[in-house]
Amino acid sequence: MVATDIGTVLVTGGAGFIGCALSQRLAARADRWVVLDNLHPQVHPNAERPAELHPAAELVHGDVTKAADWDSLLADVRPDILVHLAAETGTAQSLHEATRHAEVNVVGTTQMLDAFGRAGHTPRQFVLSSSRAVYGEGEWQREDGSTFAPGQRSHAQFERKEWDFAGARPLPSEGSRTRPAPTSVYGATKLAQENILSAWTSSHDVALTILRFQNVYGPGQSLINPYTGIVSLFSQMAMRGESIPVYEDGRITRDFVYIEDVAASLETVIGDLATGSTPFDVGSGVGTTILELAQHIADFHGAPAPHVTEQYRDGDVRHAECTIQRTTAELDWKPEWSVERGIAGLQQWIAERV
């Protein structure tokens, strides 16, 4: 059930893609809806308040990694609920900018917790936006029914074009069963966030809700940031009449979840102190290959057929999808948007902006 009394809410990174969509649902219902965001130029090229952020949201320009920014903020704001969205999110980028990802995602989280200690204030709930990246390759099943965690595909495998793990098939991940084993720096920092917040909230008797998002896309996502999603990138290529290039053999699998479904999942758990700390998987519950995604987008625009390049990215996960049965059973939430419907909704939004 969606909580009706949510009090004062502080959202880190709340001027970003997910934060803006969430503000449209809840900002007007909160006593105060305060957003802390550094308006990073990779997302906000003009460092301006985004039009998609609800007018009721109070925007504070600050950096989660800076203690002084936290102290200044908490001198004025006493949040009942903290929604932690602030993060560096580029999976590929994190391999080459590991320090920046660790500083924002890990140190930014510890700076936040230390600041609450200095302020002598404890929120009643933390909500963390985590990621499917914490699973890495997850679990695979052999032909005899046994399961194993294959770990990261090696550079040598990629060079041999051995895209899958021989004699096995991937299993959908699930927060109460699948052991996290990230294969990217980004995934490792998101898992660190989970562990840090779990330790801190348990010690302070604070509710913690963790949502592990799959590949989020939809209106509002950055059209200039090459690290935040292939759906917008593919869409812009198809709009220009280009053939979309698809890596490996085209059968990389992802679960693409529409932004409105993601915002709805957050809306459901904010203020619900009884969700427990076992992470919830938030996705469509349906795996889509990258070639299928590219074909849907190409068909929408009448663009040339996508082409398979056999290029690859070191550290990339082969299959990433989840089962959402537990999430839909325990939360008052279920996804409403199919990939086909979501792609159509995104195309119209992009067309108005390019």
Close Cβ partners of 76 (under 8 Å, ≥ 6 residues apart):
none
Which phi and psi (to 5°) does residue 160 adopt?
-85, 0
Tell me the C-alpha distance between 179 and 190, whole Å: 14
The total number of residues written for the chain in this structure: 354
H helix intervals, 86-214 = 91-94, 98-102, 108-119, 155-159, 185-203
Which phi and psi (to 5°) does residue 196 adopt?
-65, -50
Q: Is 227 marked active-site? A: no
Cα distances (Å, whole numbers) of residue 322 to 124, 152, 247: 29, 18, 22
| DSSP 8-class letter at 103 | I
Cα distances (Å, whole numbers) of residue 163 to 91, 168, 183, 202, 309: 19, 12, 15, 41, 13
Task: Given the residues 135, 186, 258, 312, select the one marked as catalytic.
Answer: 186
Tell me the C-alpha distance between 175 and 185, whole Å: 20
Tell me the C-alpha distance between 155 and 89, whole Å: 23
The strand pairing partners of 281, in sequence order, are: 212
Which pair of structure tokens corresponds to residue 55? 């007018």
Q: What is the CA radius of gyration of the chain?
A: 20
Tell me the C-alpha distance between 56 and 68, whole Å: 25
Mind telling me the catalytic residues?
186
